[in-house]
Amino acid sequence: MVFPLGAVLGLGSTIFGAIGSNSSANAARRAEQERIDNQYKYDKSVYKFNWKDTKLDYQYRKEEAATARGNQEANLAWQDETNLRSYRDTLAIRDFDYNNEVRQFNQSEQNYKLQMGFNNMAAGVAREAEARKFQEVLTGMAFDQQDMFVKMLQEEGQVVASGGSGRSAGKALASAIAGYGRNQAILAESLVSATKENRIANRQIDTEKYGADLAANSRRMLAPLRAPDPSAPLKMPRAVIMDPRKPQKPPKPIKGTNTVQGGSGITMAANVANGIAGGYTSGLFNSVLPKNLQYTG
């Protein structure tokens, strides 16, 4: 088959134009690939940095939670110790007050016993005084009775000595005996009166002693009672402080997925040019060229 020279020259021009277009597409493709490689390298650097920063932040938050627990425990332990010391101080004050009341009660009982002893002693002294007084009255009456008896005898002796007889002597003796009888009656009445006064005095002593005993008993203190134990302090509640959630490693960047930014128009143009050039060289032109002139790409 013979081709006209013009057709051959036009075809050659077309072939060389397609080859030039294909070279431009290859250059664009290499530029795009370089951009993809650079982007992937950058993405890996950012990925490593972010993952390292995430792990550092996680470690920091763990230490922060541990510090918060430590601070909380220190504060609550201090509060627990303060409450415990206050509880112990309350017990110590209660025991001190109780022991002081016991000492006061014991002193009160001792004072009561001393007062009762004094009352008994005073009453005994008063009774002895009344007894001596009554005894003196009895002794005086005995002497008076003896004197009256002697006086009566003397009067009888005088009557006998005077030698009187008969009616006059009888009257004199009767008068002496009558005087003695009157004096005896007076002594007897005095004895009854003195006995009554002695009894009244002893009753007065007993009454005064009873009043003094009542006064002493009213000053006695009641036996002290120990106050009940206060409630032991409860421990302060602890808040739950949770650790941060352990981070999950994100997916690694995939090469070539981040190609929409930067040079995307160049990539599309290069692909279109590459397709056109590839189509013409591999398809259309190869169908009309001899095998030794066909484009193999």
By residue range, what is the domain housing residue 177? 10-223+263-287
Per-residue model confidence (pLDDT) at position 269: 40
Judge if pTM exceeds 0.75: no
Longest CA–CA span in the chain (Å) reads 235
* Residue 238 belongs to a domain: no
Please give the structure tokens belonging to residue 174: 């009767």
On the CB side of 217, CA atoms within 13 Å amount to: 6
Q: What is the dihedral of CA 254, 260, 262, 264, to 10 degrees?
A: 120
Question: Residue 124 falls within a domain, yes or no?
Answer: yes
* pLDDT tens, residue order, the chain (297 aa): 544 545 545 555 665 555 667 788 899 999 999 999 999 999 999 999 999 999 999 999 999 999 999 999 999 999 999 999 999 999 999 999 999 999 999 999 999 999 999 999 999 999 999 898 888 888 877 777 666 666 666 665 665 556 555 565 556 566 666 666 677 777 777 778 888 888 899 999 999 999 999 999 999 999 999 999 999 999 999 999 999 999 999 999 998 876 444 444 334 444 434 443 444 444 444 444 445 544 444
pLDDT attached to residue 161: 57
Tell whether 251 is covered by a domain. no
Is 191 a member of any domain?
yes
**Whole-angstrom distance, CA of residue 94 vs CA of residue 227:** 7
Distance CA(281)–CA(279), nearest Å, equals: 6
Kindly list the distances between the CA atom of residue 287 and the CA atoms of 5, 63, 281, in Å, as whole numbers in the listed order: 19, 74, 9
Q: Is residue 244 part of a domain?
A: no
Residue whose structure tokens are 């938050």: 61
Q: How far apart are CA 216 and CA 112, in angstroms?
A: 6
Helix or strand (DSSP H, E) at 120: helix 5-161
Number of domains in the chain: 1
Residue 198 lies in a domain: yes
Domain presence at residue 19? yes
234 domain residue, yes or no: no
